[in-house]
């Protein structure tokens, strides 16, 4: 029995060289509250479709990698509390033990690239956590992005992280960062993190040109990050954000949350402390990223 099952629709699209966009599933299972998460998952797939590409949401179900989920599989990812969180390193034991889990950006990028998918959309990437000197918590997303040739459309990295340290790490790892219609690195649920980016693209076609240049240079072994800000009208109030991020981090520390649980906990804490406003900004960001990813895939 093959360990990876690509849905018929995705398989046909890839064979015919039609645009396909990979979507990660951890944001659904662990990044957004139920039952909103299922609605968002379907909305994202719809967004990709309405901009001319085929969505390929990726997850591991009963020990098999699924690239492109059927409706009931998407429902399971959104509703089943037994669905775990799998980074790239979890994939082999998950398959061997017939486990089920949502895939993070690291696992999704790895699997998407191997399935021949060139574009991935998400919200905010993982990165270097604040107080790295104490915990050394750095998302596996970064290392995987350094080793995986895929374009990742995101709204920057999660604002609960140390953004300058994450950007520095991406530079060290040789990961190209393009601002989309901005010269500032976006701040996840904020339109700007305040940090500069060296390169800006103004259209899906310009992003596609960069992808083509990467190919011309030789098969790219690292990711291209396309960082698109959430529109200012939909961002979280920056003052509110700065006030509550510290509280969320304190709560995380006080409760002894560690490892894979940190990011879902911080996102949830941020949502509670902003009365759901961070959630709305997060959803607005991913929605825009699904759309742009589809446009880039189409331009390619």
Catalytic residue list contains 24: yes
Answer yes or no: are the C-beta atoms of 58 and 23 closer than 8 Å: yes
Q: Active-site residue among 75, 147, 158, 247? A: 158
Separation between Cα atoms, residue 152 and residue 195, nearest integer Å: 19
Stretch that binds Mn ion, among 41-49, 132-140, 193-201, 231-239 (CB under 5 A): 132-140
Contacts of 21 (CB under 8 A, 6+ apart): 48, 53, 54, 55, 56, 117, 119, 120, 121, 290, 293, 294, 297
Looking at 24, 137, 141, 162, which residue binds Mn ion (CB under 5 A)? 137
Answer yes or no: are the C-beta atoms of 264 and 31 closer than 8 Å: yes
Binding site partner of 186, from ligand PSU, Mn ion, none, Cβ cut-off 5-8 A by kind: none
Cβ closest to Mn ion, residue 87 vs residue 156: 87
Cβ closest to ligand PSU, residue 139 vs residue 182: 139
* Footprint of ligand PSU (CB under 6 A): 24, 26-27, 30-31, 104-106, 122-124, 126, 139-141, 260, 263, 267, 282, 286
Cβ closest to ligand PSU, residue 262 vs residue 296: 262
Q: Where are the alpha helices (DSSP H) in 51-154?
A: 71-79, 91-96, 105-115, 132-135, 140-146
Answer yes or no: are the C-beta atoms of 149 and 220 closer than 8 Å: yes
CB of 117 to Mn ion, least distance (A): 25
CB of 139 to Mn ion, least distance (A): 5
Q: Which residues are designated catalytic?
A: 24, 158
């Amino acid at each position: 029995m093959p360990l990876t099952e690509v849905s018929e629709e995705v398989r046909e699209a890839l064979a015919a060289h039609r645009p396909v966009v990979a979507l990660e599933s951890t944001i659904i299972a662990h990044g957004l509250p139920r039952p909103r998460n299922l609605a968002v998952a379907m909305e994202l797939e719809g967004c990709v479709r309405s901009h001319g590409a085929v969505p390929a949401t990726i997850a591991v179900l009963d020990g098999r990698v699924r690239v492109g989920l059927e409706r009931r599989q998407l429902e399971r990812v959104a509703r089943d509390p037994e669905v775990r969180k799998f980074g790239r390193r979890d994939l082999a034991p998950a398959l061997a033990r017939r486990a089920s889990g949502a895939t993070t950006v690291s696992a999704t990028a790895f699997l998407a690239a191997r399935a021949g998918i060139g574009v991935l959309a998400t919200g905010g990437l993982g990165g270097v956590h604040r107080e790295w000197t104490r915990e050394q918590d750095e998302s596996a997303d970064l290392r995987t992005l350094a080793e995986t040739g895929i374009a990742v459309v995101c709204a920057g990295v999660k604002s609960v992280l140390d953004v300058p340290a994450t950007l520095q790490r991406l530079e060290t790892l040789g990961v190209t960062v393009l601002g989309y219609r901005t010269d500032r690195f976006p701040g996840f649920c904020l339109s700007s993190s305040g940090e500069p980016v060296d390169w800006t693209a103004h259209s899906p076609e310009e992003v596609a040109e960069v992808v083509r240049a990467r190919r011309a240079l030789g098969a790219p072994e690292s990711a291209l990050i396309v960082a698109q800000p959430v529109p200012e009208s939909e961002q979280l109030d920056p003052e509110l954000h700065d006030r509550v991020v510290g509280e969320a981090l304190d709560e995380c520390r006080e409760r002894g949350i560690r490892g894979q649980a940190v990011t879902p906990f911080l996102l949830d804490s941020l949502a509670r402390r902003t009365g759901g406003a961070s959630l709305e900004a997060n959803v607005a960001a991913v929605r825009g990223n699904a759309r742009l990813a589809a446009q880039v895939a189409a331009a390619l």
